[in-house]
Amino acid sequence: MDPFVADTKMREFNAQKRAIKFIDMVINLSDHFRENNVVIPWGCDYSWMNARSNFQETETLINYVHDYFKEQNVTIVQSTPSDYLKAIQADKFHSKANESYPIFKGDMLPFSEGKGNIWTGYFSQSPHIKLLAREASAHMHIL
């Protein structure tokens, strides 16, 4: 993806178009959240190798939206998961549904992409698949 360019003197200027697209995405996502705070995981594995550059670009987007799109009533902040949870707890009186969240009680399937690169969190409703994964893991540890 091209960088977010907010300098109007540059030929690559794309801030207006990218900011509108981002705000539309946020507004559409907000329909799927119970509260007024929307979480947007930013980036993906191995595509964000230069943290300083990525944070600066994100700050440029945030500042641009705050400066030029005040009428949209969208506030963007970089946050942590714990800050997000604190924000939704503080905002619970203004939320769309003041109720408890569902609790996941199904199985979680581990996944490995190679030595030392194990993921958890893949959901499976099949206890049989989870049993097979555990048995295979036990056999691997025997070897």
Distance (Å, rounded) from C-alpha 33 to C-alpha 95? 9
What is the tally of structural domains in the chain? 2
Domain limits at 131? 107-142
Q: Per residue in 113-134, pLDDT tens?
A: 777 776 666 555 566 776 777 7
Residues 78 and 122 reside in one and the same domain: no
22 shares its domain with 90? yes
One domain, residues 26 and 88? yes
- % of the chain beyond a pLDDT of 90: 28
* Residues 51 and 113 reside in one and the same domain: no
Is the residue at 68 inside a domain?
Answer: yes
Phi and psi for 137 in degrees, rounded to 5?
-65, -40
Q: Is residue 3 in a domain?
A: no
- pLDDT, greater one: 71 or 140: 71
**Residues with Cβ within 8 Å of residue 49, at least 6 apart in sequence:** none
88-108: per-residue pLDDT in tens? 888 775 555 556 777 766 656
pTM > 0.85: no
Tokens read off for 107: 């199985």
Instruction: Show Cβ contacts of residue 20 under 8 Å, excluding neighbours closer than 6 positions.
Output: 69
83 inside domain: yes
